[in-house]
Structure 1
Amino acid sequence: MVKGYGPFGIAFSRFTPDQNDQSNWSKMHLPVKGIPKNWTNVEKAMARLNTWQLIYQNVIKGTVPRSWYVGYQQSSQLSLDDAQFSSQPIKCYVYLLRGFDQNKGRWLVMVDTNNNLDFSDETPFEAKVMKPGVMPDDISDARLITYQSYQKGKIVTARIPLVVKRMGNDLFFNFPQYARASFRQADEPMDLVITNGFNGLNYVGSTGIAQQPRWFWQKKIDNNDLTETSDVITLGGRKYKNKGVNTYTNTLQLEALSSDYTDYSLRTGRPFRPFTAHEFTTGHPISLSSFKGKYVFVDFWETGCVPCVSALPTLKKLYQGLDKSRFEFLGIVGNDTAERLQVFLKKYDVKWPQVLSIDKNGLIGQYHITAYPTSVLLDPSGQVVAVDLSMEKLDAKLKELNR
């Protein structure tokens, strides 16, 4: 593990105050003490260092039901081994406080750096300001947090840096730490750098890897050059699938692939994985080859996704103006029922083909979709030419291709 942001783009998490809404998440929150008496409008927030460890230890404790834990894994397309988690509660989180100091007339922040759930031994501070669109790489204000992890059957105590910044009235934080890993292939050293978006120890399903930049001018790695979990990276002429970081063994896991392996991916320049399914409205067979020779906008969405629904009027307008001999849209719908989707498509008068993916082994799972909306634009050969275009950029791109 290496302190700092290294060659990666910087990301922050928003300070979200604990809510007493009787949800399973709120049941896992813990009481704290030592809040300054001269503070008003106090908010506390748990920053999760290892989300799955936190859930598991609360299952063992009986705070949340195992059925929810299992269901959450399935919805995240994961199958975790309980043996990699400690059944004894460990400090896989840290608490932050925000409040208005009446004596100083300022909003201040406190961090439970020693993780004892007591803020009486902590020092308040004013979070440094960051400007919109500017991700500061200064970590001189980082605070070292004591936490615990479970490695190879033992509880390990360590420290990790935490940075808190302010933008307007909102607080943001991250853990400026990334990882390095090395191995040898045919006597050639392979040095890799690893990030999870500076999200503590939350590597499950969120592990981006790249080769360590070799030259002094290669200071940053573009996000598009990161190999995410389940994607393929080529090292020394050999292909490997990124299987993510195992925090129990403290290892990066790579799966060696055969030389003839086709690297299907949702990344720009990669071939889109072929599929066969049934179009929802007609029941007719549909496949990627059905669109051969056309540009295809593939939209992974669900009816309960607010941004997905908000984009529909624009998508309908764009679809109406397309030359259908050269362009097509395809919706792949997850986390829905046939009844709900049928009513929705009729209500919004959606005309382009749709596929309902309700099986965990269906298209949503095959393409490793974890967030909605997710979209790709394919060229006539089935290769990805753009990913997650905004409606404005999609409009511009379609007009460019339609000339």
Structure 2
Amino acid sequence: MKKIFLTFLTIIFFYCTSKKEETNIIHLKLREVNNFGSFKKSFSMLLKSSSEKAEKESKGIPKDWKEFYIKRIWIDAFQVVYQDFIKKNLDESKFNDKYKTWIKNPNQRKLSKKSINSYVNIIFRENKNGEVEYILDTNNNKDFSDEEIRIPLKVSDNFNYSISAKKSPFVDYQLSTNNGILKEKVKVLVLLNSNKDLMYGFPQIFETSFLNRKIQVSHGFSNVTFDEKSVFMIENKKEEINIHEIVKIDDFMYKNLGVNINTKTLILERIPRDKELFSTNVGFKAIPFKIKKMNSKDSISILNYRGKFIYIDFWGTWCAPCLMEIPTIEYAYEETSRSDIEFLGIAVHDTKEKVKSFNLIYPQFLESDSKNLKEKYNIIKYPTTFLIDRKGKIVAKDLKGEKLLDTLNFYIKNYKN
């Protein structure tokens, strides 16, 4: 009888523990909204070059269009790359290895080996009057003859993106999920910048609510699947909470576990009160890491720099915006004291030889000499920078530009832990 009673207590204990773990994970159903919401707008450029693949599969190009560019707009970037990989009979394991480094969202989905409409074709040109015009294959039938010619609006100061988003056309596409291949629609907003270059974005966000607060969710407007970016904002707050970052709601801390596109839900994890918190958002302790020195077998840790500020720059020799920032970073390095602040350059997708060829004066490391540092810090754009205070807390992100030195000096002189 005693054994039966103990067994019963054990079952109850594990059941309660399991239920407690389940209640720490919150699934919030999402509702689609066709605009940019409160997020910073983001667009991708349409370079003046043609895609051979788009040209081969398209028909119905107007006969009087003698000179033009034709391209693919990727709606689901990972599916496009995957199906091209399969078509070429390349080793699928190599794609999976790359896919794991690209993807940030833990809520993975099944990609289709069969080619699907995960992109849309667009054709554009400059007409005799000097106007840029384009045709978008909105029904995705690879035929431009049943589509209208459109004139893109030019972006200017105080440009009304909301009205433009509302007037932009829907495009049919297919989305591969764990539930099969779904037929979907998304708005594609095509605009003209000051250099007369076309740019496009997907004005689509999602909304939900939690504890009487409205929440907006974004995929970043350049890829609709939340694979790379899964960010949310709580009403009346300007801070964007990226995937794996933490936010306080009422008396609890919650971690963003991303959007599950299979169920169209935002997933949050409620964090126990007694757990030490590390995150990549401002106000939290920086995630500890070790990384090997470039010319040594020894490693450094951010714990080595307690008592001084650390400026971390994730960059690459292949990244033009990163290279533009180097002179201002080197100037800031020369004009500050190592007793106050240390600089760490972390080169991503790079080699020792390429980094060394730049002869940079501040310490450099290869991200590949760490344990998934890019993933831990959720690096999806370059350059990305972090300023960490004397006690290891992140106090600022993405500090760069001409005022970098002034900003760093302000923190060094005025910031109190």
Q: Which of 140, 165, 177 is the matching residue for 2:204? A: 177
Match of 1:257 among 271, 277, 300: 271
The alpha-carbon distance between structure 1 residues 133 and 282, as it changes in their structure 2 partners (threshold 3 A), is farther
**Structure 1 counterpart of 2:247:** 233
SS in 1 for 2:188: strand
Residues 267-276 or 131-140, more deviating: 131-140
The residue matched to 1:9 in structure 2 has which SS?
Answer: coil
Q: CA deviation at 1:35?
A: 0.8
How large is the RMSD of aligned CA atoms in angstroms?
3.0
Letter in 1 for 2:76: N
Question: What's the CA shift string for 1:133-155, capped at 9, x where partnerless?
Answer: 84622134211212222344333
**Aligned partner of residue 115 in structure 1, secondary structure:** coil
SS of the equivalent of 1:69 reads helix
Change in 2 beyond 3 A, CA 1:123/1:339: closer
Conserved 8 A contact 1:73-1:79: no
* Displacement of 1:172: 1.8
Aligned match of 1:242 in 256, 267, 283?
256
Shift, 1:232, TM fit: 1.8
Deviation at 1:392, TM superposition (A): 1.6
Change beyond 3 A, Cα 1:196–1:43: same
Q: Which amino acid aligns with 1:203?
A: F
> For residues 13 and 210 of structure 1, what CA distance do their matches in structure 2 show?
22
1:143 aligns with 2:173: no
Structure 1 CA distance, aligned partners of 2:266 and 2:50?
35
In structure 1, the residue matched to 2:325 is: 311
Identity of matched residues, %: 28
Equivalence for 2:345: 331
CA offsets per residue over residues 75-121 of structure 1, 9 Å max, x none? 4255889862233332221122112445x764321111111010101
Q: Deviations over 1:195-234 (max 9, x none)?
A: 11223523112111123x2xxxx5xx63xx1111121233
The separation in 1 between residues aligned to 2:363 and 2:311, in whole angstroms, is 11
Structure number having the greater helix percentage = 2
Distance in 1, Cα, partners of 2:320 & 2:222: 25
Q: 1:27·1:64 contact (CA, 8 Å) conserved in 2?
A: no
Number of the residue aligned with 1:121 = 146
Paired letter, 2:197? D
Give the one of 77, 84, 94 matched to 2:110.
84
Q: Deviations over 1:341-396 (max 9, x none)?
A: 4x43xx6152x434333157343333232333221122212222221222422111
1:128/1:56 CA distance change after superposition, 3 Å: same
Q: Does 1:208 align with 2:231?
A: yes
SS of 2:220's partner is coil
Rounded to whole Å, the distance in 1 between the matches of 2:375 and 2:369 is 8
Distance 1:353 1:284, change over 3 A: farther
CA distance in 1, matches of 2:107, 2:339: 49
Residue 167 of structure 1, aligned match among 181, 189, 193? 193
Task: Provide the residue aligned with 2:33 in structure 1.
Answer: 2
Q: Match for 2:121 among 95, 107, 126?
A: 95
User: What's 2:132 paired with?
Assistant: 107
Question: Is the alpha carbon distance of 1:374 and 1:242 closer, same or farther for their aligned partners in structure 2, counting shifts above 3 Å?
Answer: same
Number of aligned residue pairs: give it.
Answer: 380
Give the corresponding residue for 2:221: 198
Partners of 2:153 and 2:395 lie apart in 1 by: 39
SS at match of 2:254: strand
Q: Distance in 1 between matches of 2:41 and 2:348?
A: 30
Correspondence for 2:47: 16
AA at the equivalent of 1:379: D
- With normalisation by structure 2, the TM-score equals 0.80
Equivalent of 1:275 in 289, 296, 301? 289
Equivalent-residue separation in structure 2 for 1:83 and 1:390 (angstroms): 36
- DSSP-derived class of the 1:91 partner: coil
Q: Which amino acid is the alignment partner of residue 118 of structure 1?
A: D
Give the unaligned 5+ runs of structure 2.
Answer: 1-31
CA distance in 1, matches of 2:327, 2:40: 33
Distance 1:17 1:68 in 2: 31
* Aligned-partner residue type, residue 116 of structure 1: N
User: After alignment, is 7-16 or 61-70 more displaced?
Assistant: 61-70
